[in-house]
Amino acid sequence: MDTTLHDPLVGQSLDGRYRVDARIAVGGMATVYRALDTRLDRELALKVMHPALAADATFVERFIREAKSVARLSHPNVVGVFDQGTDGPYVYLAMEYVAGCTLRDVLRERGALQPRAALDILEPVLAALGAAHRAGFVHRDMKPENVLIGDDGWVKVADFGLVRAVGTATNTTGSVLGTVSYLAPEQIEHGTADTRADVYACGVVLYEMLTGAKPHAGDTPAQVLYQHLNADVPAPSAAAPGLAPELDDLVASATARDPELRPHDAVTLLAQARETRAVLGDEQLDQVPPRARAERPGAGPEDVTSVLARPVAAEREPVQHTSRLPLPPPGPRPDAGPGPAAAPVPADRLPRPARRRGPLAVLVAALLVLGLGGGVWYINSGQFTRVPAVLGQSQEQAEKRLTDAGLDVRGTEHEYSGAYRRGTVMATDPEPGERIRGNGSVTLTISRGPRTVKVPDLKGTPLAEARRELTGAGLAPGMITRAFSQDVERGAVISTDPGPGTERSPESAVALVVSKGAPVDVPDVTGARVGDATRTLEGAGLAVRVAAERVHSPKDAGTVVLQSPAGGQVAKGDTITLTVSKGPRTAVVPDVTGKKADEAERALRAAGFEVRTQKTFPFLGDTVAGQSVAGGERAPEGSTITIKIKGL
């Protein structure tokens, strides 16, 4: 049913100029309509603030700021703003109309995209954000809903409603704006948002394009927020096996939890994306993605642009405007201290060592499982602080985070663990989230990894994936040798040393034998015409490359004078390079008629020819009476010239 029939603005005109024809979309702050500018007779989009919000000066100011910010950008990948105005209770923006769909529509319909398509979308998005960053703005709400794909294939970034100048985006006074699934850790924890927050969101969007799913999921927004703070975005290849490791690296770079480790802005990330594309082959770029997990119908709580409470300098009370995240009532607090800054993730999403959990942590986890702990809140804790969540982080990262929180590291212990990677924090004392005095100390327990590691069965696994599996299992990829194989695809593992199932200590090296493909005997095609040689080689399952430069040789022009490799065995599909003859070099034959035989022979040899002497009556004289190639004509270098000697 067409819901635009029930919209009072459809069919009306704003400012006597913009005729509202149809409703396109409804958001948390505004509704977007397709309209006609009757003065200029052009189709455009009208973004009209909800009348209930128009009385709020903060929202109106943000709305108008969007118009001014985008008008300054004037970039082909940014949805342009033509006009801004007010008509009675309606505050509106007149914007460029993009006929097409959003990236969210594409992901919902198709799931994961091929890497080439994902980069084709990412690059213009980064170009648009790069222009904003270099102009001094931060978008702060990058997500697939704000990426428009026109029917002509043009990609544009929309909805700069949360934009802030870079200089003023480093701190807010009580709220964090954005969409939960795409918020950078510093936005959640500190309310800071500079250009690197947009870079993080773009990394999450790239992950979603490559896998068809968001990197962090949860039943409540609080669970998603917790994972952004405490878990790295996983490698896309873990959800979509076969993706090139360079794509994993690109996502990891953009989504580093420490903003200092991310590219500085979208321009820098764009350069990385283009470098990644340059090193990928067509097969890697056009890899067909696995069938993506279906999105839940409609927008979940993590998909809504929200205002989330964050601590402020005084009471740290939550500021709530249009938040879709319910905040729990303050209520009486027990003496043991306030609730956690962010709710913990369920145990099935983040493995923990078997340690006794405090009653407060158990209570919060239970509330989350029951669906009662969806809010995020902060309460001033006076002289006490809470131990930051550092499980799964490297020792260096954990020590830095503890130091930044004003805590000391008392010492470290080391234990074996099958749940935490070697060198990462597996436990803290006190535990994460527990109250501790502001100058207190924390002991870190560092994982040694598992006591023993079984070598995985990697036969038939592509080399890049095999390396990742070994690393993930706590082993190290060792020496790589290559061998022919009739039954293992080229580039995949034939065998390992030690073999699968063998137990080794962590970080032990595992040698890999990688398939060169099925062996093929190389036919000898030297002397054959290049066309015949090509057909012979291709018939044997080999590829052919003809060298661009032809060479002089005694062989006829157009025939193969050299092939590389010349013989032996190669893998099926390998390339044989052919060098083609352009015939022998030629030289001018000296005229030696009338010369003495010895003199004639010397002249011909000096010109590069062989000489054959034919004497009729040698005892009667030695003067040259004729030659097989007349003087002044050209003949192949090294060919034989016959001279005839006759007597007087």
So which residues are the catalytic ones?
Answer: 141
- Coil vs helix vs strand at 261: helix
DSSP for 305-343, please give it.
EEEEE---SSS-PPP-SS-SSPPPP-----TT----SSP
From residue 621, alpha-carbon distances to 328, 556, 596, 598, 601 in Å are: 127, 39, 9, 12, 16
On the 0-12 / 13-18 / 19+ scale of CB atoms within 10 A, 419 is: middle
At residue 421, φ and ψ (nearest 5 deg) are -65, 150
- Write the CA distances from 108 to 86, 149, 156, 224, integer angstroms: 35, 14, 19, 20
Which tokens is 374 given? 């969806």
Place of tokens 């992901």: 107
Q: Which run of H or of E encompasses 236?
A: helix 236-239
Q: What's 551's DSSP letter?
A: B
Give the closest residue to 484 by CA, choosing from 577, 575, 569, 576.
569
Element containing residue 37 per DSSP (H, E): strand 30-37
- SS3 (DSSP) at 411: strand
Count of other CB atoms within 10 angstroms of residue 21: 15
Calculate the dihedral angle through the C-alpha atoms of 544, 549, 553, 559, rounding to the nearest 10 degrees: 40
Give Cβ neighbours of residue 16 (< 8 Å, ≥ 6 apart). Answer: none
